[in-house]
Structure 1
Amino acid sequence: MNTVRPTILAAVLAAHGAACGCTGACGTTHTAGACGWAPDQGFQPLHAAPYPPRLTDAANAAVPAAQLRPWCGRCWHRALKARREEAEQQRIQELRNAQIALFDPPAVAAG
């Protein structure tokens, strides 16, 4: 007897609906709170990925299925890029803050 097991994507679509779950993480203002993805408009098929995106592919792949949402390819790639750019800017700022003491040491009290 063959047992048909649902895919993770099928489970995500059953739980969250067959529409892109992006609500603006991609940097685009979505009208009506959704991106407008529709299967009849020739867009790429949906896929399951975490919301919000994690920084690395390994971290995205390790997210439990319960934390996955449906994404269209356009929103996913834009949201992932925005998340990575945000993290890069944060690392740059942390590095700058850490280097301030190297190049602007506090005045040493004369004694």
Structure 2
Amino acid sequence: AGVTVHSDRGSQFRSRRFRRALRHFGLRGSMGRVGACADNAAMENWFSLLQKNVLNQQQWTTRDELRLAIVYWIEARYHRCRRQRRLGKLTPIEFETIMKDPACLAG
């Protein structure tokens, strides 16, 4: 409930069949604006990193194996290494280390 599927304006995403599938699974459709080619750029970049670093690394025998590999990559690699503008170009680990109270670090 409450999940939004955002897509570009491709014909496959505007089709009756796709919209019916969205309704069937209780999802809400969302499309980028006409002529706004950068709408999906951030997610396309993220998925290309996921594909390069996880999906293309080996053949996965089960969905659970792939799911664990994706979760591991997100939590152990991507979030820990990615510098974030909101954190002053620091990684989340660097930010937490700097922002922690020195008394907490001593304990």
TM-score by length of 1: 0.28
Which one has the bigger helix percentage?
2
Which protein has greater RCO, CA pairs closer than 8 Å, 6+ apart? 1
- TM-score w.r.t. length of structure 2: 0.29
